[in-house]
Chains A and B, each alone.
Chain A
Amino acid sequence: MTRKIRVLLVDDHTVVRRGLRKILESTNDIEVVGELGSGLEAITAAAELHPDVVLMDVSLPDLNGIEATRRITAATPGSQVLMLSMHADEQYVLASMEAGAKGYLVKDVDDQDLVAAVLAVCAGQTYFGGILGSTSGDGRRSPAVLSARERQVLAMISSGHTNRQVADTLGISINTVESHRKHIIDKLDLHSTADLVRYAIRHRIVNLSR
């Protein structure tokens, strides 16, 4: 008989964490060995409990989830980290992978995805789930990289400038501005100005002042 997969849960939203625990424990394959709301405590707990998988929320009150991941993967390499987040932010995903996480789940996945993700990373596979689309195995997504000019155009559009204003400020034609705009939308797989603005703010290309 194979032993159960031992999971450590880290999320400071207790009621959310309890719900995730119930989902995992409803399977026959998974045992939750600990649940915490702090990144610092997670590092200590991982070192003591040697869980197979650490399910870690990206945003934690003390040490952020990504830094905690870095320390856990360094100190307890036998524990695979699976990140959990409200957002499918490319930068967070990349940072998490660089810190050693094996998977990244957005909270709009369902319970089956959660279980599949835990099983996958425990087996040493990567797993991406949620707005990113669910892929496991060696599926790697390269980040959408905007050119410097595209970032400039995006910043100005998101600050509310008209195409004419962007063209004048950057010394290019309106057609070129339109063309940049289209490239940005295609690269980022977005569909509207509203999407562009939200992307720009989330990625700190513009800030949210008036």
Chain B
Amino acid sequence: MGTIRVLLADDHTVVRQGLRRILETDPSMEIVAEVGDGRAAVEAAERQRPSVAVIDISLPSLNGIEVTRQLAKATPETRVLILSMHADEAYIHQSLKAGAKGYLLKDADDQDLLKAITALHSGGSYFSPAVSKLVLRGYLHESVESADELAGLSDREREVLQLIAEGKSNKDIAHLLDVAPSTVETHRKHLMEKLHLHNTAAIVRFALRHGLIQ
């Protein structure tokens, strides 16, 4: 079968290190990158081209769903396994829509994690039982309010939204996205208009309600 090259992305360091040790018990797996934020995950995936990317759904800088979306374009051969605390319908729907092939809850055990990675590497998918139930029931509609509102934004606008809510200045955001500060201003203006938000406080509250930040 050959080695399974895996990328691990979770911002809780000790959790991520624990996951690494679990993977290290399986000789068929090789961890090619270990990162703590979404932007670093995309960069590492582009460099290392892993077979499977284990992505925590709530990553700082760029959340797990956005990472999935970007990897689908940048490294389409990488199969994304989302790791999450909850079987949230909206998150599951958006993850799958973004191209994720697996969704594992954190109450899964270490063997489930290894099985999931192996399944994805072989071209299959893997869902925790509670997640499968929701997926099979076809219970996931676009009508979930948060999916609608965020879907109205461009990829860039969603990125800027998360970074503003994380407390980053326009200058920091411009640097991170490699664009001019005036471009960041424009995105900010547009997203605020589209979402009917009037100031930073409102942006932060929106981001918290929709799980873009913790």
Contacts and interface: CB of A to CB of B under 8 A. Distances in A.
A159 B198 CA distance: 11
A191 B168 CA distance: 9
Nearest to A161: B201
Contacts of B85: 13
Contact of B108 (A15, A86, A197): A15
B22 interface: yes
Contacts of B209: 208, 210
B199 A160 contact: yes
A119 to B, nearest CB: 15
Interface in B4-42: 11-15, 17-22, 25
A162 B202 CA distance: 11
Contacts of A15: 19, 22, 83, 104, 106-110, 112-113
Contact size range, A: 35 or more
Contacts of B62: none
A160 B113 contact: no
Contacts of A193: 167, 199-201, 204
Nearest to A157: B201
Interface string A104-137: 0101111101100000000000000000000000
B208 interface: yes
B109 A86 contact: no
A95 interface: no
Interface residues of B, number: 40
Contacts of B199: 160, 162, 193
B169 interface: yes
Contacts of A1: none
Interface in A62-109: 86-87, 105, 107-109
A22 B167 CA distance: 35
Interface string B181-214: 0000000000000000011111111001100011
Contacts of A23: 14, 17-18, 21
Given A86-B214, A160-B198, A194-B167, A110 B208 contact: no
A29 B16 CA distance: 22
B201 to A, nearest CB: 4
A41 B12 CA distance: 26
A86 B214 CA distance: 10
A175 interface: no
B201 A14 contact: no
A21 B113 CA distance: 15
A12 to B, nearest CB: 6
B165 interface: yes
A197 B204 contact: yes
Contacts of A21: 18
Given A160-B205, A198-B208, A111 B17 contact: yes
Given A14-B109, A15-B106, A198-B204, A107 B12 contact: yes
Contacts of B14: 19-20, 23, 105, 107-111, 113-114
Interface of B: 11-15, 17-22, 25, 83, 85, 104, 106-110, 112-113, 164-169, 198-205, 208-209, 213-214
Q: Which 4 A-B pairs have the closest CB atoms?
A: A19-B18, A107-B12, A194-B167, A13-B106
